[in-house]
Amino acid sequence: MAIGSYIKDIGRGKEGARDLTREQAADLMGQILDGQVSDLELGAFCIAMRIKSETPQEMAGFLDALNQRMHKVQNPDGRPVVVLPSYNGARKLALLTPLLALLLAREGLPVLVHAASTEASRVSTQNVLAALGITAQEAIKTIANGELVQAPTSALHPRLQQLLEVRRTLNLRNSAHSLVKLLVPCTGPHVLVTSYTHPEYADSMSATLQTMGTTALLLRGLEGEAVADPRRCPRMQGIHQGQCNELEARQEGSLVQLPELPAEIDAETTARYTRQVLAGELPVPAPIARQVQHIVQLATLAQA
């Protein structure tokens, strides 16, 4: 069906809009990824879905379309690939997604970080990884156990990156910003580590992940990143074989002691702190250590 017909359904305002079926959503996103829509139609889609908001079935359809088209990484060694999306960056606190990724790689897990910078004012994972000497790979074929690979979104699918870039024109987030947090761009067993920024997204993200059969750790991350807040342990949920279980309750009450964290959030300072933690010169923040344990346990389930 032509995209105009879909826009007619989803663009009737928050109260009058009609939800798409999973199949319709897959067809719509397929047209976008295949470059079959005009800039005007793309903008209309972004605004309409922003007002209506996506249902779990629509997100599943969008993922179906992307899974049929995106480049996927293979792990010939067979251990589950840990997938870490990183699209928010650091605004107030040091970006610790690279630290989480390297801690997981040290556990012998293959770790795929896919990322894009969508706000120039924030410190990105790409910035910190570059300061650590880890550069993005434009053409990724395989990933090994204990290896950290960084993939730009454009390497997964160029038009997905273009959809993210629409934000710079419209100054609004769109479906792609939710979609990238649910992607599993690898073949075989996996553990997706993903996060939400507002509590109301927890249920819809969990429902989508259960529908897709994704093995995942879902938490309210640090400034939208998929890493636990080092100061206070957030709620963590584990999803496997269509079931969601609470792995960690949100830490309540006053903090007895704050962990030693970087005073500045720039990439070089964050990289230096990351090296100190990996070398054992500084402790791993307790919430991140717990997160690593849960991910390792989920990887064991995924491989079983």
What domains sit in the chain, N to C, each tagged with a CATH number? 3-67 (1.20.970.10), 81-303 (3.40.1030.10)
- What lies within 8 Å, CB to CB, of 14 at 6+ separation is 51, 52
pTM for the whole structure: 0.94
The pLDDT of residue 74: 87
Per-residue pLDDT of 109-161, as tens digits, reads 999 999 987 667 789 999 999 999 998 887 777 899 999 999 999 999 999 99
Per-residue pLDDT of 49-95, as tens digits, reads 999 999 999 999 999 999 999 999 988 887 999 999 999 998 899 99
Longest dimension (CA), the chain: 59
Provide mean pLDDT across the span 170-177. Answer: 91
**In the predicted structure, residue 254 carries a pLDDT above the cut 70:** no
Provide mean pLDDT across the span 216-235. Answer: 93
Nearest-angstrom CA–CA distance, 265 and 225: 14
Mean pLDDT over the full length of the chain: 92
Contact by Cβ (8 Å): 73, 186 = yes
The pLDDT of residue 253: 64
Asked which of 115-119, 242-246, 300-304 is least confident by mean pLDDT, the reply is 115-119
Nearest-angstrom CA–CA distance, 2 and 8: 10
**In the predicted structure, residue 256 carries a pLDDT above the cut 70:** no
Tokens 């009058």: give the residue: 16
The pLDDT of residue 118: 66
Nearest-angstrom CA–CA distance, 286 and 277: 12
Residue 42 to residues 56, 144, 284, Cα–Cα distance (Å): 21, 38, 44
**In the predicted structure, residue 288 carries a pLDDT above the cut 60:** yes
CA-closest candidate to residue 79, choices 231, 201, 187, 214: 187
